[in-house]
């Protein structure tokens, strides 16, 4: 049985020259192939794809495989023509208005078409080929392109066929939706068909099949403790107990049109919807559930929703590079504003994307934004090493920074500060993850790192290194002070931003570590400053000035006086009288303290990162926070169940 999975390594644990061998509890060993993708600054392996062939595994059997270092030499791989020698074939077909367009992976290989190698070694070889769909008379469709990632296990003569159909060229004229009868064939047989499929503009869909017999039965469960300890993912509370009902509910929702191509799985169709939701956070609830449990149904939903993240019209691929379009290549591109805003003074070209074809449809039932954007693809790429998830992460990271007007974002710098604070938070999260995990050999790695550094430099100049910065350690730019007639900020959005910077700091970005030392004081102040009662530390909005033109307050007492009622302020903090006034239990925080998505829950990751940053009073703030009498049951959805390390 073949197994291939992604694995992150803590800095210093594994060097690129090292090899791995798998060892079962009974002492038997399995040779493992290691395809290193990203490395730490010290040269050690950060992320790799690991492949092996398990000699035997019975139904419902669980076996523990330890990864052991060895000095065995790395075996070389082979070329894709090996597939042809074994009779491989796979093709994609789309019939549009009676015209059948097709593309065949084996034909691309036969004719010597370009290919990229993703995996190479004695166990698994994976090659990627792509081409536009073409009619019988040789006319290539201008927008529809098929991509095949074919993973060949030579010893068992089986191949995993990963098929993606895209409608997402960034600068192809006349973009539009296309409705077609879709068909995927493997080894001459139809393995998937969908009549009347409407493929939205700048989107893509994915299906995975097997050639030579299904070999996908193994469920890989990672070592959760090591994965979290590597700091590649936040420190989710491993004591959380997820009940069977949570998995049952996830599985019950995983059905119907929502999980077919152009569906969006567990995501919310209108991202800007407000209110508490399970898809927000450093990880969405379903992914955090999977991370903590490694349970099969949670994994299916997590990976499946990441597959379906391609359905949003947010995918722009550059024909010149065949990669997600990059702000570094087109510093004036945007999907906002007017075309003249996109004139590049160097090239003299307009970098606006072409408008929808005249008379055609470019409508979609889905609306995306950065302010409510789930983390779709980062964890799936970490644990699988699938190239599709890598590019999905890159598409979302880039669309967040080029989606604003070039003048507002300082063109090539991709500054996020004009966005809503929550939009800044989730965009920084995704940007940092893309810069962290993108393979070293990928040209986009330096692009993401450059944009991330530009943003961190801006925040550090405006706040960390600014002696005149506000004393509440909150973001207070124009886009932040938008509440109560531009008097106040939203502490919960500010907490989102703090947690995103904490995550980026854990990923090793020095600018984020510096910014965190300033930013993470904000939740600590609200929990410990005597000028405000900690019961209300997770308040919905917090006034920081008298009016839009007034100077900022200097003390938390002023903030509390301006943000809370006089009656509340007159009561002893945490007293029975205060609880009675609020209609809460004694020691219960305001802001829906029992909810997994309440404002105290939003605050929890920010406080945890403050403790990790060793900030003054942070430990005391955490202790007070954890002593509150009403807490959520994170077993239902643990997206905010992050604790100090």
At residue 275 the predicted structure's pLDDT band, cuts being 50, 70 and 90, is confident
Among the ranges given (201-205, 215-219, 263-267, 299-303), the one the predictor scored with the smallest mean pLDDT: 215-219
pTM reported for the whole predicted model: 0.97
> Do 94 and 52 reside in the same domain of the chain?
no
Q: How much of the chain, in percent, has pLDDT values that exceed 90? A: 96
**Does residue 173 carry a pLDDT above 90?**
yes
Question: In the prediction, which pLDDT does 337 show?
Answer: 81
* Residue 338 belongs to a domain: no
84 with 70, same domain: the answer is no
Q: Is residue 336 pLDDT above 90, yes or no?
A: no
Residues 91 and 207 in one domain: yes
Model confidence over 395-450: pLDDT tens digits?
Answer: 999 999 999 999 999 999 999 999 999 999 999 999 999 999 999 999 999 999 99
Domain termination residue (choose one: 173, 193, 211): 211
134-163 tens-digit pLDDT: 999 999 999 999 999 999 999 999 999 999
Give how many domains the chain has, as a whole number. 2
Predicted local distance difference test score (pLDDT) of residue 233: 98
Give the per-residue pLDDT at 181.
98
Say what the pLDDT of residue 200 is: 98
Give the tens place of pLDDT for each residue, 226-249.
Answer: 999 999 999 999 999 999 999 999
Residues 113 and 63 in one domain: no
Give the percent of the chain with pLDDT over 70: 100
- Kindly tell me if the per-residue pLDDT of 323 is higher than 90: yes
Question: Is the per-residue pLDDT at 276 higher than 90?
Answer: no
Inside any domain, residue 190: yes
pLDDT at 56: 84
- How sure is the predictor about 338, in pLDDT bands with cuts at 50, 70 and 90? confident
Question: What is the spatial distance between Cα 147 and Cα 151, in angstroms, rounded to a whole number?
Answer: 13
Residue 401 counted as domain residue: no
Whether 196 is covered by a domain: the verdict is: yes
Does 4 map to a domain? yes
What residues make up the domain containing 69? 1-74
Asked whether the predicted pLDDT for residue 117 surpasses 90, the reply is: yes
| Domain co-membership, 65 together with 38 | yes
Q: What is the predicted pLDDT for the residue at 75?
A: 87
Q: Report the C-alpha gap between 568 and 588 in whole angstroms.
A: 15
* pLDDT higher at 218 or 100: 100
- Give the per-residue pLDDT at 74: 85
Helix (H, G, I), strand (E, B) or coil at 70: strand
Q: Which residues contact 139 (CB under 8 A, 6 or more apart)?
A: none
* Cα–Cα distance measured from residue 165 to residue 203, given in angstroms and rounded to the nearest whole number: 9
Regarding whether 197 and 165 lie in a shared domain, the answer is: yes
**47 and 159 share one domain:** no
Strands 65-70 vs 90-96: parallel, antiparallel or unpaired = unpaired
Task: Say if residue 42 is in the same domain as residue 162.
Answer: no
Residue 320: inside a domain, yes or no?
no
The tokens 């379903």 sit on which residue? Answer: 286
> Do 207 and 151 share a structural domain?
yes
| Residue 606 falls inside a structural domain | no
Q: Which of 187, 211, 235 is the last residue of a domain?
A: 211
CB 474 within 8 A of CB 559: no
Among 26, 54, 74, residue at a domain's last position: 74
Say what the pLDDT of residue 500 is: 98
Same domain, 92 and 206: yes
Task: Assess if residue 20 is contained within a domain.
Answer: yes
- The beta strand positions in 490-592, using DSSP E, are 542-543
Distance CA 371, CA 377 (A): 17
- Give the confidence band of 73 by pLDDT, cuts at 50, 70, 90: confident
Q: Are residues 84 and 60 in the same domain?
A: no
12 and 32 belong to one structural domain = yes
Give the CA radius of gyration of the chain: 26
**pLDDT tens sequence across 592-628:** 999 999 999 999 999 999 999 999 999 999 999 999 9
pLDDT over threshold 90, residue 522:
yes
What does each C-alpha distance from 23 to 50, 54, 199 come to in angstroms?
Answer: 14, 11, 46
């Amino acid at each position: 049985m073949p197994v291939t999975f992604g694995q992150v390594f803590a800095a210093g644990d594994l060097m690129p020259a090292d090899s791995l061998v798998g060892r079962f509890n009974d002492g038997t060993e399995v040779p493992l192939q290691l395809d290193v993708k990203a490395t730490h600054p010290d040269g050690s392996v950060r992320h790799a794809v690991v492949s092996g062939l398990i000699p035997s595994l019975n139904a419902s059997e669980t076996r523990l495989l330890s990864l052991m270092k060895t000095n065995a030499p790395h075996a070389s791989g082979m070329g894709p023509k090996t597939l042809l020698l074994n009779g491989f074939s796979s093709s994609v077909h789309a019939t549009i208005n009676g015209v059948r367009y097709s593309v065949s992976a084996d034909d691309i290989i036969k004719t010597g078409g370009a290919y990229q190698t993703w995996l190479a070694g004695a166990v698994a070889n994976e090659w990627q080929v792509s081409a536009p769909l073409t009619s019988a008379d040789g006319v290539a469709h201008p927008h529809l392109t098929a991509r095949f990632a074919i993973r060949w296990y030579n010893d068992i003569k089986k191949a995993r066929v990963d098929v993606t159909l895209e409608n997402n060229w960034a600068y192809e004229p006349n973009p539009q939706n296309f409705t077609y009868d879709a068909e995927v064939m493997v080894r001459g047989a139809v393995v998937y068909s969908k009549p009347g499929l409407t493929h939205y503009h700048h989107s893509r869909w994915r299906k995975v099949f097997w050639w030579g017999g299904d070999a996908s039965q193994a469920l890989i469960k990672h070592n959760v403790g090591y994965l979290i300890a590597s700091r590649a993912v936040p420190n989710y509370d491993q004591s959380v107990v997820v009940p069977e009902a949570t998995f049952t509910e996830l599985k019950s929702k995983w059905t119907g049109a929502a999980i077919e191509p152009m569906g969006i799985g567990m995501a919310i169709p209108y991202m800007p919807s407000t209110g508490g939701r399970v898809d927000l956070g450093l990880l969405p609830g379903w992914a955090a559930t999977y991370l903590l449990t490694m349970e099969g149904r949670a994994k299916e939903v997590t990976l499946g929703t990441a597959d379906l993240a391609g359905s949003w019209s947010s995918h722009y691929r550059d024909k010149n590079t065949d990669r997600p379009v990059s702000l570094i290549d087109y510093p004036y591109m945007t999907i906002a504003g007017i075309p003249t805003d996109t004139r590049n003074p160097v090239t003299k070209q307009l970098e606006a994307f072409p408008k929808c074809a005249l008379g055609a449809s470019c409508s979609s039932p889905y609306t995306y934004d950065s302010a409510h954007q789930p983390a779709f693809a980062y964890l799936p790429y970490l644990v699988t090493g699938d190239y599709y998830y890598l590019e999905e992460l890159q598409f979302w990271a880039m669309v967040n920074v080029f989606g604003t007007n070039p003048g507002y974002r300082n063109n090539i710098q991709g500054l996020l500060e004009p966005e809503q604070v929550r939009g800044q938070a989730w965009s920084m999260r995704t940007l940092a993850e893309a810069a962290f995990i993108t393979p070293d050999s990928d040209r986009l790695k330096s692009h993401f790192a450059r944009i991330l550094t530009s943003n961190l430099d801006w925040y550090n100049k405006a706040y960390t290194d600014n002696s005149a910065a506000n004393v509440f350690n909150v973001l207070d730019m124009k886009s932040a002070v938008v509440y109560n007639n531009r008097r106040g900020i939203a502490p919960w959005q500010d907490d989102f931003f703090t947690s995103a910077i904490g995550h980026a700091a854990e990923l090793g970005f020095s600018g984020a570590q510096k910014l965190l030392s300033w930013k993470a004081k904000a939740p600590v102040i609200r929990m410990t400053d005597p000028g405000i009662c900690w019961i209300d530390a997770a308040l919905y909005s917090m006034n920081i000035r008298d009016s839009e033109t007034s100077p900022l307050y200097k003390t938390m007492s002023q903030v509390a006086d301006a943000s809370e009622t006089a009656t509340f302020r007159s009561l002893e903090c945490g007293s029975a009288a205060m609880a009675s006034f609020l209609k809460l239990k004694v020691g219960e925080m305001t802001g829906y303290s029992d909810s997994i998505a309440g404002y105290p829950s939003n605050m929890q990751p920010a406080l945890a990162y403050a403790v990790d940053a060793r900030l003054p009073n942070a430990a005391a703030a955490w202790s007070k926070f954890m002593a509150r009498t009403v807490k959520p049951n994170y077993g239902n959805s643990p997206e905010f169940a992050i604790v100090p390390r």
